Amino acid sequence: MTALAAKLRWLLFALTLFTGFLLAGSATAQQASSVDPNASAVKEDQLLQQLHTVRGLGSIPDSKSYTLEQLAGPEWRHYHEVTLRWIGAICILGALAVLIFYYLTRGMIRIESGRSGRAIVRFGPYERFIHWMMAACFVILALSGLNITFGRPLLLPLMSPEAFSTLSAWSKYAHNYLSFPFTLSVILMFFMWVADNLPTRVDIEWLKRGGGMIGHDHPPAYRFNAGQKLLFWIVFLGGSAAAISGYMLIFPFYGTDVHTMQLAEIGHSIIAMLFIGTMLAHIYIGTIGMEGAFEAMGSGTVDVNWAKEHHQLWLEDEKAKARQAPAQARPSASPGD
């Protein structure tokens, strides 16, 4: 009896074990066919479409290296290779074309009533120093900057790669270090001339009559006419923006990453091209465009007839001041009388 019971128990045990194995076997078979190790894995296309950049984690201390891929790079490349060259060509060649056309049709704007032979001080030594410090820096900054964009297609074919590399390296240093006196001159210029460059009602009239270059008469103006005021604000705002974006590039990775530096370079280069176009027009008016204009920044004095024609209200103010000055000076100079 006990022997039979023992045999039965063994049989039952074996059966249970067997069904257990069977069940387990079918379960693993089912599992193998349903599991895809890649089901929840990250997909490159998906990440790039969603984020435009793929970033993860790494074992290297340099966290910049955790960016696996950034598609903004090739887009920036297209800007630098195509868009910027068009912007530069339009700004510079466009400005030159307009100025040459203007010179050929209107020529130099003369002092209509001729020179009086009497001069009046327009810009003092300090003002001229700031102006020429800014101008000298600007010319070198502009040329060295243009070399980065246009040097490879235009200058490199004319010289050996080593010579061009040396030239570019020096112009890069000039660009970086001259940015400091340039920025300083923009700041000093702002405080020096801002009072004379606030827009007034006279400017609207001046603009309506097309100023001295587009119109054919001489609308009255104080120390600076509306065109000069516009230039002042272009230089101040453009110069500041160029300085800020430039310093973001000179000091890489101080609060910036590759993306902000790409944007800084785009901003910096567009501002620079517009700036260069504007300055071509400024240089034109200051030299061959208008008789008697260069002296203002050269010797610091202008002919009285020039002042009468271009800055009538300023001349009247200066005359009034000159009349008042001796009258004011007298009582203070002789207190003991």
Partner 1 sequence: MARMKFLCDADRCIECNACVTACKNEHEVPWGINRRRVVTLNDGKPGERSISMACMHCTDAPCQAVCPVDAFYTTADAVVLHSKDICIGCGYCFYACPFGAPQYPRIGNFGTRGKMDKCTFCAGGPEPDGSAAEYEKYGANRLAEGKLPLCAEMCSTKSLLAGDGDIIAQIYKERVVTRGYGSGAWGWKTAYGETVSS
| 148 CB-contact burial (10 Å; exposed 0-12 / middle 13-18 / buried 19+) | middle
Residues in a beta bridge with 55: 67
Residue 258 beta carbon to partner 1: minimum distance, rounded to whole angstroms: 6
Among 3, 57, 104, 158, binds partner 1 (CB under 8 A): 57
Residue 184 beta carbon to partner 1: minimum distance, rounded to whole angstroms: 16
Q: Which stretch binds partner 1 (CB under 8 A): 13-21, 65-73, 206-214, 327-335?
A: 65-73
Among 8, 68, 90, 322, binds partner 1 (CB under 8 A): 68
In terms of CB distance, is 191 or 254 closer to partner 1? 254
In the chain the first and final C-alpha atoms are separated, in Å, by 152
- Phi/psi of residue 63, nearest 5 degrees: -70, -15
Q: Is 164 in the site for partner 1 (CB under 8 A)?
A: yes
Q: Is 34 in the site for partner 1 (CB under 8 A)?
A: no
Which H, E and C letters describe 33-53, residue by residue? HHCCCCCCCCCHHHHHHHHCE
In terms of CB distance, is 40 or 105 closer to partner 1? 40
- The answer to whether the beta carbons of residues 145 and 272 sit under 8 Å apart is yes
Residue 49 beta carbon to partner 1: minimum distance, rounded to whole angstroms: 11
Cα dihedral: 272, 277, 280, 285 (round 10): -120
Cα dihedral: 171, 174, 179, 180 (round 10): 170
Q: Is 162 in the site for partner 1 (CB under 8 A)?
A: yes
In terms of CB distance, is 179 or 197 closer to partner 1? 179
Among 14, 16, 44, 121, binds partner 1 (CB under 8 A): 44
Residue 273 beta carbon to partner 1: minimum distance, rounded to whole angstroms: 16
Among 37, 255, 326, 336, binds partner 1 (CB under 8 A): 37
Between CA 174 and CA 139 the distance in angstroms is 11
In terms of CB distance, is 175 or 311 closer to partner 1? 175
Between CA 202 and CA 307 the distance in angstroms is 16
Between CA 111 and CA 305 the distance in angstroms is 7
Three-state DSSP state, 114: coil
Between CA 21 and CA 30 the distance in angstroms is 14
Pairing status of strand 301-303 against strand 119-121: antiparallel
Three-state DSSP state, 209: coil
Q: Is 119 in the site for partner 1 (CB under 8 A)?
A: no
Among 9, 17, 29, 77, binds partner 1 (CB under 8 A): 77
Among 3, 4, 31, 56, binds partner 1 (CB under 8 A): 56
Nearest partner of 109 among 280, 281, 282, 288, judged by Cα: 288
Q: Which stretch binds partner 1 (CB under 8 A): 9-17, 38-46, 116-124, 186-194?
A: 38-46
- Phi/psi of residue 93, nearest 5 degrees: -70, -35
Residue 67 beta carbon to partner 1: minimum distance, rounded to whole angstroms: 5
C-beta neighbour count of 291 within 10 angstroms: 16
In terms of CB distance, is 6 or 68 closer to partner 1? 68
- The answer to whether the beta carbons of residues 225 and 209 sit under 8 Å apart is no
Site for partner 1 in 167-206 (CB under 8 A): 168-169, 172-173, 175-177
Site string for partner 1, 223-252 (x = CB under 8 A): --------------------------xxxx
Q: Is 14 in the site for partner 1 (CB under 8 A)?
A: no
Point out which residues bind partner 1 (CB under 8 A): 36-45, 47-48, 54-60, 62, 64-71, 73-74, 76-77, 80-81, 147-149, 151-152, 156, 161-162, 164-165, 168-169, 172-173, 175-177, 249-253, 258, 261-262, 265
